[in-house]
Chains A and B, each alone.
Chain A
Amino acid sequence: MALTCDRVRELAPGYVLGALEPAEMVAVRGHLDGCANAHQEVRELGGILPYLAIAPEPAEPPRWLRESVMAAAAADLALRRGSPRSLPLARPEPLPESTGPEPDHNVVSLADVRRARRRLPRLAWFTRVAAALAVLALAGYAVVVQADLNRAKEDQQHAQSIYNALGPGDARTISLTDEEGMGAGGLAVLRPNGHLIVSLNHLPSTHGNQIYTVWLTGGNGAQVKVGSFYVDGDGTGFLEVDNMPTSASLWISVNREPGPAVTKPTGPTILSGTISL
């Protein structure tokens, strides 16, 4: 459909608004592409469109849309970088109804991109979530491993302390008795120089202000607070103190107290035993 310049001027309003019939749109486009005249009227009327575009009442899209757009772009980028093939150039045809060139199967088609857009964002999100979980899991595992290592070091130190205490052969050692039948156990080692080691295990965890306190009671009834400790899930407790009484007979008890401020045993006795010569 060959058009004259006058005819194009007539059609200009409909053309800039995309309101002509498809064949007319193509014809006007063809004329403008080849015409030596500037067709200022098309430029002038077309300049209205940016105004019309901002005329709608303001509206804010949901926040997730931003992430979705960026994920789609990232997927597209990955598709491009992951393939030596180039992306197709946009076709200049003005209308969806117009026919374009046959698809070039040597380039990434928009079908690929659209499929990627539908699929990869989900994959990307899944990957992100999986990666985040993996990082968290690794971090958690590292924490657990570190905690285990620390605990192993502590246990080693405790064992070494006990070994050192027992080494000279002058220490009094007793196995503590489980008073509540809860499976708790422990060992106390007292050296003549007043160096006392108490190592406990299988203790129920403490909650709130609860605390385990170790007491020494001499033959004269005097009570000495050896020390206190909280117990977590591992059920162990360890105390190593100096300057303890070394009288011939000492009664040692481990009580679960309601708080650390107690000055004498008030809570149930969990473990106990007599340290005697």
Chain B
Amino acid sequence: MQQVAAGEIGGLETLYDRYHAAAYALALRITSETGMAEDVVQDAFLGLWRNAGRYAELKGSVRGWLLAIVRHRAIDTLRRRKTGMALGDDADAILPAALTIPDPWPEVAGRLEAEQVRRALTVLPPAQREVIELAYFDGLTQREIAARTNAPLGTVKSRMRLGLVALRAALGPSAERAAPGDAAAMRTARLAGGKGTL
């Protein structure tokens, strides 16, 4: 990353070789269109390239930072396409909100396999998984999710909280000894949310 910050293309090549597949998979999952996903990945790496100097100010893994940019850019692209707005010239200068949140488990996340994460998602109650996926991959707000799912806004908020807590319990350090989606972890998550029926 220091190489990238110093303007060395070789550093960017290294990062691209390491993370391009994850970046493209995420962009494709969000946009559902290869051409758009390719643009997003290119914009994301260019954003990383241009803002590498700021990386030191942020806490977290390079992968987490890059993927946050990918997600932000992909959702931004979708939103602007829906509203007919042209892509902003300065859109990739805007740091995603997630980048302001320190990533506490970059190393743990690095060790986790994508398959483990997918398994953890599948054991979430469908309603909780749905709101998380609509928010994360479709970029919908809680209000939009409520409208989409015909659920009360309060329910959407609760499902979102419970789902995130459950995922954290399944994937986080406290759940490392348990398999992702461990029933005890899920029960803990439900209790933490106060409702076990959502």
Contacts and interface: CB of A to CB of B under 8 A. Distances in A.
Interface of A: 10, 12-21, 25, 29, 32, 42-62, 65-66, 68-70, 72-74, 76-77, 80-81, 87-96, 100, 103, 109-111, 113-114, 117
A69 B112 CA distance: 28
B105 A69 contact: no
Contacts of A88: 90, 93
Contacts of A16: 97-98, 101, 164
B9 A70 contact: yes
Kindly list the 7 A-B residue pairs having the minimum CB-CB distance in the complex, ordered from nearest.
Answer: A46-B101, A56-B29, A111-B89, A53-B67, A94-B97, A19-B135, A61-B24
Most buried by B among A47, A76, A88, A91: A47
B90 A109 contact: yes
Nearest to B112: A51
A174 B97 CA distance: 95
B100 to A, nearest CB: 7
B198 to A, nearest CB: 13
A151 to B, nearest CB: 45
B104 A77 contact: no
B160 A14 contact: yes
Interface string B83-98: 0000011111111111
Contacts of A87: 50
Contact of A100 (B20, B90, B117, B165): B90
Interface in B60-102: 60-61, 63-64, 67-68, 70-72, 75-76, 79-80, 88-98, 100-102
Contacts of B105: 47, 50
B38 A18 contact: no
Nearest to A14: B142
A69 B42 contact: yes
Contacts of A81: 7
B102 A58 contact: no
Nearest to B88: A96
B7 A80 contact: yes
A69 B45 CA distance: 7
Interface string B1-22: 0000001010011001100111
Contacts of A109: 89-90
B125 interface: no
